[in-house]
Amino acid sequence: MTGDTSKPGASRRRALLRVEDTHDLRAAVSPPRDALDITSPLTQRVRDPVPGTRIAGSLWEGERFIVRVPRAWNGRLVVAGTPGQRTEVACDVLFSDPLVASGYAYACGNKGNGDGVAVLTGDERLVVDRVALPRFPVGGAQSIAFWQHAPGKRIEAWLDETIALTQLAKDILTERCGRGPDVTYAVGLSNGGYQVRRAVEESDLFDGALVWNAVLWSREHNVLNSLADAVAAFANGTPERIPGCGFPPDIASRSGSGSLYAKNAAVYWFVTLWLHAMHLDPQTSIAYGDVGDAAPAESWCTRIAQWRPERSVEIARRIDGFANTGRIRCKTIDLCSEYDHLVPPAVHFAPYARLVEAAGRSHRYRARTIAGAPHVDAWAPDPEYPSLRPGHASVLEAWDELVAWVEGDPVNSR
């Protein structure tokens, strides 16, 4: 598998556009795997076709985006952040389908990360810019590799993509519909929520924003610190320490054979810590140009529980380059899930509210918790954990609240 991450000039953007008029913009008819992985089977699907225009393309090599414009466009644009290491179609069921059905134009990119994650078998490698990226074993003969580890793939670029895509989507609407959007919103889940927070801190392109289980990146509060603590406690056989690291309480499975901590450790904790640690650590990072091969990062695969973020002061300096500030420039609703064991609210939600308050922007900020919800809705319902509930319905209610808040008082929308 190979790829290229070089950025062509802006003059190439138009040549990379693909335009398709379609009788149905919905992904619900045949949702992509990326979308199903984060969506509950209980999610209410849009039933009727939504005719309109689909525009796909790239802002630079390795970057991809999708723009959907319903025929009955309501004059509003929504730009979505992409969760995790997923693609531009990951939020199609959660956000795109209900929004385009309501008349919104919708845009989403892949954070410049190609296909995000590659599942490899045997000796296969993901090669980007002629560099074989590090692999993390996931059982049997399989491993996974992440585009985020490729040369130059720094998290700072996520903001660049969000801003560039928003501007391009506005241009597309002006060209195709004869006018730009009256109102522009941003919405995001997980690291897509971080994307949105960062964009509304750094630009005036948006009138309102909604984030759900957003990652907070700062020196004190980030994925590295919280997951390093949880992984170490789990690996050392002391899971009782994990709530003290800021995580919600554990929930035992109904059968008694497992727990939410164990499920998160197996699916998320170890590999997510490895992903971000190897990206930022100056002894392992291909992305920052510190090393040129996969060996240093792969040496940590079996001992990631021993990795600590304080091993290098350069890690904190790098986080400073894309850290959140709380200086939001538009009305923002921030939602967290009660049982988010990947992006725990005590680490990523409550501290962000304090950042907003310290920045003097609390009048633009509303925050609340979704009771019973996990990090992603695909984990609810689960007969082993009957207390878990999907959060999507609450997110859509918050969306309606945001629109009323922004458009009900347009003079004071900021």
Mind listing the pLDDT tens digit for each residue in 91-143?
Answer: 999 999 999 999 999 999 999 999 999 999 999 999 999 999 999 999 899 99
Give the full edge-to-edge strand order of the sheet including 2-3: 2-3, 127-128, 131-132
Q: Which residues pair with 119 in a beta bridge?
A: 144
Is residue 164 over pLDDT 60?
Answer: yes
- pLDDT bucket at 1, cuts 50 / 70 / 90: low
Is residue 214 over pLDDT 70?
Answer: yes
Comparing C-alpha atoms, which of 219, 183, 187, 227 is closest to residue 73?
183
Overall average pLDDT of the 185-206 stretch: 98
Least confident of 23-27, 144-148, 185-189: 23-27
Output the pLDDT for position 30. 81
Overall average pLDDT of the 172-179 stretch: 96
Is residue 181 over pLDDT 60?
Answer: yes
Alpha-carbon distance of 329 to 315, in angstroms, equals 28
Output the pLDDT for position 409. 61
Output the pLDDT for position 6. 43
Least confident of 1-5, 51-55, 206-210: 1-5
- pLDDT bucket at 17, cuts 50 / 70 / 90: confident
Cα distances from 305 to residues 71, 182, 200, 309, in angstroms, run 52, 49, 35, 11
Angle between helix 191-202 and helix 156-177 axes, rounded to 10 deg: 70
What average pLDDT is seen over the chain?
Answer: 94
- Percent of residues, the chain, with pLDDT higher than 70: 95
Alpha-carbon distance of 110 to 65, in angstroms, equals 6
Is residue 278 over pLDDT 80?
Answer: yes
Output the pLDDT for position 221. 98
Which secondary-structure segment (H or E) carries 166?
helix 156-177
Output the pLDDT for position 31. 86
Cα distances from 123 to residues 29, 52, 146, in angstroms, run 36, 44, 16
Least confident of 17-21, 97-101, 104-108, 264-268: 17-21
Does residue 367 or residue 3 have the better pLDDT? 367
How many CB atoms within 10 Å of residue 352?
Answer: 29
Comparing C-alpha atoms, which of 99, 224, 103, 101 is closest to residue 155?
224
Output the pLDDT for position 4. 45
First-to-last alpha carbon distance for the chain, in angstroms, is: 46
Is residue 411 over pLDDT 80?
Answer: no
Output the pTM of the full model: 0.94
Alpha-carbon distance of 367 to 193, in angstroms, equals 13
Overall average pLDDT of the 280-294 stretch: 98
Overall average pLDDT of the 188-214 stretch: 98
Domains and CATH numbers, the chain: 2-114+152-218+327-412 (3.40.50.1820)
Output the pLDDT for position 29. 75
Is residue 210 over pLDDT 90?
Answer: yes
The sign of the CA dihedral 9, 59, 216, 248 is negative
Alpha-carbon distance of 280 to 299, in angstroms, equals 15
How many CB atoms within 10 Å of residue 408?
Answer: 9
Overall average pLDDT of the 387-411 stretch: 92
